[in-house]
Amino acid sequence: MALDGKIAIVTGGAGGIGFAIAERFLRDGAKVVFADVNSDKGANALANLEQLGECRFIKADVGRRLDVHNLVAATIDTFGDIDVLVNNAGIVHRAEFLDLTEEDFDRVLRVNLKGSFLTGQAVAKFMVEKVEKGGTAGSIINMSSVNATLAIPDQVPYSISKGGVGQLTRVMALSLAQHGIRVNAIGPGSIMTDMLASVNDDPASRTRLLSRTPLGRVGEPSEIASIAAFLASDQASYITGQTIYADGGRLPLNYTVAVKPEK
């Protein structure tokens, strides 16, 4: 299998895209440590994931340096290595620009952008030391979004954080290239997760969503997981500093498309 023997960390892994990535990695032969701030969700996810392979859940807030340190240390203690990091943990906050509070702005950026920096830096330091000792280089995957490029008026900190993640990916890739460590990002469009559930359940919102999606459907978490599995594998050995957008054709679109009535 493509990830046989690799050790991976997946943040925000108790549900949604993170869970799908952890599941895919295990199916592809990796050993996985996944982190989340929600202990109950983490325990439930572990009960399902450990049936597929060797994995461990660590409660961690990626916006806290000590939590990140403990996550990295626990991974090394458990499996002795780190080959792949997926910076997937992220939160949203909906508010119009004029109504957004400083506290909510800081809270989203602390998790989405600072969390990716802290975890990425901690894992990269370990990977560099490993390479200097003759070990193999690793792969870091950041979770961006189409909102790194597009803007939504009531998703101010989320859009800004994802734009920052895109630039963080490029900076990390250039900084770590000399060590053979690859850094890429994935930019999902509309994916069927809990974040999208409220929109998907409303017919008018669903029609509006599909009108901007040329492929005419909502994506699945497993489709994002397949991209992560590719980027984590040696098959992507010459790819770094890139963001792969999986958005059903949304970014190239400069008009809305007709949506077939649902039966």
Q: Which residues are catalytic?
A: 158
Which among 223, 232, 166, 161 has a CA at the least distance from the CA of 190?
A: 223
Which among 130, 22, 42, 165 has a CA at the least distance from the CA of 86?
A: 22
Phi, psi (degrees; rounded to nearest 5) at 39: -65, -40
What number of other Cβ atoms are within 10 A of residue 229's Cβ? 23
What number of other Cβ atoms are within 10 A of residue 263's Cβ? 3
Residue owning tokens 């008026």: 153
Phi, psi (degrees; rounded to nearest 5) at 112: -70, -45
For residue 185, what are its two tokens? 């990002």
- Distance in angstroms (rounded) separating the CA atoms of residues 151 and 159: 6
